Amino acid sequence: MTAALYESSLHSLPLIARGKVRDNYAVGEDRLLMVATDRLSAFDVVMNEPIPGKGETLTKMALFWFARLGHIVPNHLTGEDPESVVAPDEREQVRGRSMLVKRLKPLPVEAVVRGYLAGSGWKEYQLSGSVCGVKLPPGLKNASKLPEPIFTPATKAEMGEHDENISFERMEQIVGTELAAKVRDVSIRLYKEAAEYALTRGIIIADTKFEFGLDKDGTLTLMDEILTPDSSRFWPVEEYSEGNNPPSFDKQFVRDWLESVRVDGRLWNKRSPAPTLHSDIVALSTKRYQIALHALTEK
């Protein structure tokens, strides 16, 4: 495994933005180089310690899913080698952790699909019997499988702020009725096909989020990352039981740890600065990300 990369520093391309995990560089006017660093975010706060190998794992998994689901919707990949657009002394920074993609007009919403009741969805269901305006049957438990996957969009938050769940009607107001329906239908189809495959590999995809953009012709295009431990909730089939929080192959256990850690005698307020991640949490994060990758992609 290569050394951990907390932040890239390319001199041959102009930096456009640093996200919570990815550093994006302009390649001409129509392409972007997306570098997946080893940064970890939780509760929309970036931790101070990198997770070695995380960026490479996310990239490999996203590329696997883009290839497997490419028949459903176009994606942003150009098919070009990311190392071909950087200087020779920068190739090590981008190797195995980057994607050279088309520059799109991002939709200002996240497309969340839930197949199971978990996380904020479970909390909302306990209060109202619904999730993001979607009414659900009574009597469901934590981690219950839903009768059918539901689409629960969210608005994208600025760095350090929290994403906000919205109703489908609100999404229609933001992007338009026709586009909202297309995003919903494509997202559910992506989730269903991925979840069905993952079950054959011993993994439940409880929920996930997709991001879309429009190309210069207005074509809906899948972008960013898809179906990774950062964008999804992965549970091992063999340890799943309704009514309990299954152990996960994503960063949920980091969130759980952060909710119990104390800073200056008080529980962390989920705002920057982040608490220091213990070395065992870092090591376990690396291991769980790799387990998910191997389970889903190894033949």
Beta bridge partners of 135: 130
Beta bridge partners of 210: 111
End-to-end CA distance of the chain: 21
What does the pLDDT read at residue 162? 61
Q: pTM surpassing 0.75?
A: yes
Evaluate whether 27 touches 100 at the Cβ level (below 8 Å): yes
Q: Is the confidence at residue 161, as pLDDT, over 60?
A: no
Domains, the chain, in order of start with CATH, read: 15-103 (3.30.200.20), 106-257 (3.30.470.20)
Instruction: Please tell me whether residue 180 adopts helix, strand or coil conformation.
Output: helix
| Mutual angle of helices 54-68 and 177-200, in 10-degree steps | 110
What does the pLDDT read at residue 157? 65
Query: Which residues are CB-contacts of 81 (< 8 A; sequence separation ≥ 6)?
Result: 100
Residue-wise pLDDT for 41-100, tens only, equals: 998 899 999 999 999 999 999 999 999 999 999 999 999 999 999 999 999 999 999 999
Residue-wise pLDDT for 106-118, tens only, equals: 999 999 999 999 9
User: What mean pLDDT is reported for the chain?
Assistant: 94
What does the pLDDT read at residue 238? 95
User: What b/e sequence results for 183-198 when a residue is b if at least 16 CB atoms lie within 10 Å of its CB, and e otherwise?
Assistant: bbebbbebbbebbebb
What does the pLDDT read at residue 196? 98
- The pLDDT-based confidence of 158 (bands split at 50, 70, 90) is low
What does the pLDDT read at residue 179? 98
Mean pLDDT of 210-229: 97
Residue-wise pLDDT for 133-152, tens only, equals: 899 999 999 999 999 999 99
What does the pLDDT read at residue 163? 73
Mean pLDDT of 148-163: 79
Q: Is the confidence at residue 241, as pLDDT, over 90?
A: yes
Q: Is the confidence at residue 299, as pLDDT, over 70?
A: no
Evaluate whether 116 touches 234 at the Cβ level (below 8 Å): no
Strands 266-267 and 262-263, sheet pairing: antiparallel
Q: Is the confidence at residue 234, as pLDDT, over 60?
A: yes
Residue-wise pLDDT for 6-53, tens only, equals: 999 999 999 999 999 999 999 999 999 999 999 999 988 999 999 999
Percent of the chain with pLDDT over 90: 87
Residue closest to 274 by CA, chosen among 49, 20, 120: 49
Beta bridge partners of 235: 204
Beta bridge partners of 145: 116
